[in-house]
Amino acid sequence: MGISFYTFHGLSYVIDIYKKRITPSNNFIEYSVFVSFFPLLVAGPIERATHLLPQIQKDRKFDYAKAVDGLKQILWGLFKKIVIADNCARYADMIFENHSDYSGSVLVLGALFFAFQIYGDFSSYSDIALGTARLFGIELLRNFAFPYFSRDIAEFWRRWHISLSSWFRDYVYIPLGGNQGGTFVKVRNVLIVFLLSGFWHGANWTFIAWGLLNAIYIIPLVIFNTNRTNLEIVAKGKFFPSIKEVLAMLLTFSFTVFAWIFFRANSINEAFSYVSGIFSESLFEFPSFPNAALCIPLVIMIVLFMIIEWMGREEQYAIAKLFRGKPKAFRWSFYYLTLLVIFIFAISKKQFIYFQF
């Protein structure tokens, strides 16, 4: 259990010693806690010895403010997992497993449901892990930074599974030469990183195709040195984005959702069959599937979820400073309402997607 994550921890520890970034720990217990710290063991984030070991080595005292902040992040993680991810999974699973029975418009809905499922599922685990660690006075690396508000694929990968992306950047991409050198070197390095990322997710051609698609998306940005254009969060300091930013976000999100089809499909043939089903005349039909009306409350929850994420996009997590300055009764009403919604939408237990990687 957790083999890939403690392998990443062990590798980075040895490499950082070799590169003289850190000195070896002389305390086996401290090292063991770093490698197998329980909140992040099964699905990350992937920690670095330079970041986590010093926190383990120093004395810590219970901090009430940190604990409150940690509990809020855990609450938001539970909302994302139970309300968004698990309920989206019901419809995504149904549509993907029976994709040949549905119109192109329904298949688009299935891909969208999976996009919100995997984001809600994976980022929720990270929220719960970070919040739990904060109860112990430990600050883990941030793993998600509102990736669906990205304006290009390079920005998306700076905001999605940040600890894995940065691990591949620091220990694979840069040692290979990074973006220094000719066009061939840049393209080669990007392909290696994304194909490795795909292969890490599983020995299935679907993951290789998913990695290759993302490499194809990002290669033009790397070649023309526009991959670091969007470093700040979108519409920083403003509530509404510009039309250009909206279009850029929609285009990036569309590319991402298309790639997720290959990630979710059981086989490469199924993925191509799903895509061909989308690009058919039935794409323009009104989406219809069994019990379609039952997903309306879920769609409303997704919309509300994205509004709250947008409002809190400049913070570490969406509700970190939501309703700041409002009366205590107002804030607590929101927390209890969130708990109530979690209980109402709770369905049969769904395993975290990234437990399998």
Q: Which of 9, 99, 161, 201 is catalytic?
A: 201
Identify the residue whose tokens are 């292969």.
199
The residues near 174 (Cβ < 8 Å, ≥ 6 apart) are none
Q: How far is CA 41 from the centre of its chain?
A: 16
Q: Clarify whether 9 is annotated catalytic.
A: no
Q: How far is CA 167 from the centre of its chain?
A: 15
Q: CA-to-CA distance for 211 and 311, rounded, in angstroms?
A: 31
- Given a contact cutoff of 8 angstroms between Cβ atoms, the answer to whether 19 and 174 are in contact is no
Q: CA-to-CA distance for 134 and 1, rounded, in angstroms?
A: 23
DSSP for residue 100: G
Nearest C-alpha neighbor of 162 from the set 209, 114, 206, 123 = 123
Which pair of tokens denotes residue 1?
């259990």
Catalytic residue annotation: 201
